[in-house]
Structure 1
Amino acid sequence: MSALADRVDAFLAHLAHERRMSAHTQSAYARDLGSAADWLQERGLTDWGRVTTADLREFVAGRHRAGLKPASLARLVSALRSFYVWQMREGLARRNPATDVRAPKRPVRLPETVDVDDLAAMLDVTPEDDLEIRDHALLELFYSAGVRLAEAVGLDISDVDLAAGEARVLGKGSRQRSVPIGSRAIAALRNWLKVRPQLAAANETALFVSQRGSRLSRSSVAARMQRWAQQHGLPVHLHPHKLRHSFATHLLESSADLRAVQELLGHTNIGTTQIYTHLDFAHLAKVYDAAHPRAGRRADSDEA
């Protein structure tokens, strides 16, 4: 193993044991820094401390030409910067050559959402069996609380207080937050808790369990959600994050309280939440076009 790889391994151990980053993030950083180490090794550079900004720019540019997407390039640059911050703190490097490296800008992609009426039609049904009761409770929770997929499947029974109407979820970076649960979701969860003992294995703490009695997997949730959407006539593809986007968008359309939505979503940076302001404006523009008596003149002025 090379000296370059040894230092990457030490950094990854730091991420796992001191910063307690998720396994997904650790895996991504391992790939990114491993590819950088391989690239440097091929060029005879065997010391991270001697790598220059020009070297890293050439590496990132090469990855860009190879077809790496902007989001992945941004993560790559972020990994390199964090790696050097750690090296400097440990006295292993005197400067951070990744500071002035820039990844190509990512195009702004507006999150896809589901229409309020379509969601209501899909959710306002009576489940027919235990698995459908579970799926219904999951769907209501996603839309009511705006939780992430990992947060939902990670819930234990003890994390949910239906009397208080809230749940404690473990978000990104092992940050815990409380989220409110609406009355429809509370009712659906009560129905699920009545039948859960028929499926759950002994001593299983997970709120949502599979037919085998163990904690429900992420892939199972995604598959069951799409199955539910198809069975109940939803005209668009459905996945957990689309329900989270819908939760945020519909809430922002009604309240315009960006800070509150940020807290509910568990975003550490309000800039992440601001993507929903684009959707909110799109909604307002649509309402304006449909309702204002002089809205039609906008098209005329645009053409002038």
Structure 2
Amino acid sequence: MKTKNQSHLSNYLAYCTAQKKLDSKTIKSYMIDLYQFLCFIEDTEIEELSIPILESYISSLHAHYKPKTVKRKIASTKAFFHYLEYKEILEKNPFDKLHIRFREPILLPKTIPLHSIESILATIYHEHQTARTPYQRRNALRDAAVIEFLFATGIRISELCNLTPNEVNLNEGSILIYGKGSKERRIHIGNEDVLNILKEYEKKYHKEIVSCNHFFASQSGKPLSDQSVRRMINKYTSVASIDQHITPHMFRHTFATALLEEDVDIRYIQEMLGHSSINVTEIYTHVTLAKQREILTNKHPRKKMRVEG
């Protein structure tokens, strides 16, 4: 990789951090995508790039990745080139001359059957009630709070793990969430059972919460990690004898789909999920249409009629 190209990349990532205030996860994604791009063009300086080289790069991406990944990697590269144009390192952005179209397959979000969520919660509460030691009881209490919170709010796992005590007001049932791109949204928890378990957790874990300044904490006073939540879900899924592999993000999908099936306006769901575009939220309409098809196929009274033509 050319030293000059590497310098451009370092400056761009610094710009994204300091000026655009992008989160560390986005910066890491940009770094991986752009490092891959610069390795591909090898000894060619960015200022000397031609359309055929870019087309060759895009073709190589299509040969090795799924359309969604290709789209993300190209978006990362285009953003980099817009920066270079803005800084007058490039006179013109070569991507402007390329017409790139994607035909991504519609991948329906995977949801959790509501009876499975009920089984998981019942398993956790049973463990809380029958725990043999205070340590086990506190663990189960924290786990119940986490799972209830995931399902009650539709929050992303990264948002849950980064939540601070100042952003949680359980007396009002109000949660302030800083999502992707530091976008702010507020969501309310209206279920009293959920609020009660969260209040009990907050009381019993007060010392740990204050210690790490994160609302969800481990018994050792450290912020709860993404992997800890995944292990937690896997544990209770297994104990409840649920065959489906369940991830934290599936609670978000289930939250949105269930609300849509209850005729909640999609604009409200968009706001609760923190989607910048309604197009992202509309993927859940495909799920409800699939559910509609299943209902009409299996439940419509015509199925019970025995009419011979």
Partner of 1:132: 140
Partner of 1:36: 37
The reply to whether residue 55 of structure 1 matches residue 53 of structure 2 is: yes
The reply to whether residue 95 of structure 1 matches residue 92 of structure 2 is: yes
TM-score normalised by structure 1 residue count: 0.89
Cα offsets for 1:63-104 (capped at 9, x unmatched): 333x23322211111011111111222222222222325265
Letter in 1 for 2:240: H
CA–CA separation in structure 2 for the residues paired with 1:201 and 1:72: 37
Q: Offset at 1:132?
A: 0.8
The reply to whether residue 224 of structure 1 matches residue 232 of structure 2 is: yes
The structure with the largest helix share of the pair is 2
CA–CA separation in structure 2 for the residues paired with 1:268 and 1:296: 45
Partner of 1:185: 194
Letter in 2 for 1:6: S
TM-score normalised by structure 2 residue count: 0.88
Partner of 2:134: none
The answer to whether the 8 Å contact 2:154/2:251 transfers is yes
Q: Offset at 1:201?
A: 7.1
Partner of 2:105: 107
CA–CA separation in structure 2 for the residues paired with 1:52 and 1:20: 31
CA–CA separation in structure 2 for the residues paired with 1:202 and 1:158: 10
Tell me the SS of whatever aligns to 1:255. Answer: coil
Letter in 2 for 1:260: Y
Partner of 1:215: 223
Q: Offset at 1:279?
A: 0.3
The reply to whether residue 10 of structure 1 matches residue 8 of structure 2 is: no
Q: Which moved more, 1:184-193 or 1:244-253?
A: 184-193
Cα separation, partners in 2 of 1:119 and 1:92, compared to 1, 3 Å: same
Partner of 2:184: 176
Cα separation, partners in 2 of 1:191 and 1:275, compared to 1, 3 Å: same
Q: What RMSD in Å do the two structures reach over aligned CA positions? A: 2.0
Cα offsets for 1:238-282 (capped at 9, x unmatched): 210011111011011102411111111001011111110000111
CA–CA separation in structure 2 for the residues paired with 1:264 and 1:197: 27
Q: Offset at 1:296?
A: 7.9
The reply to whether residue 266 of structure 1 matches residue 274 of structure 2 is: yes
Q: Offset at 1:148?
A: 0.4
The answer to whether the 8 Å contact 2:209/2:216 transfers is no
The answer to whether the 8 Å contact 1:148/1:244 transfers is yes
Q: Runs (4+) of structure 1 moved beyond 3 Å?
A: none
CA–CA separation in structure 1 for the residues paired with 2:303 and 2:95: 49
The reply to whether residue 85 of structure 1 matches residue 82 of structure 2 is: yes
Q: Offset at 1:105?
A: 3.2
Letter in 2 for 1:196: Y
CA–CA separation in structure 2 for the residues paired with 1:201 and 1:242: 26
Partner of 1:23: 24
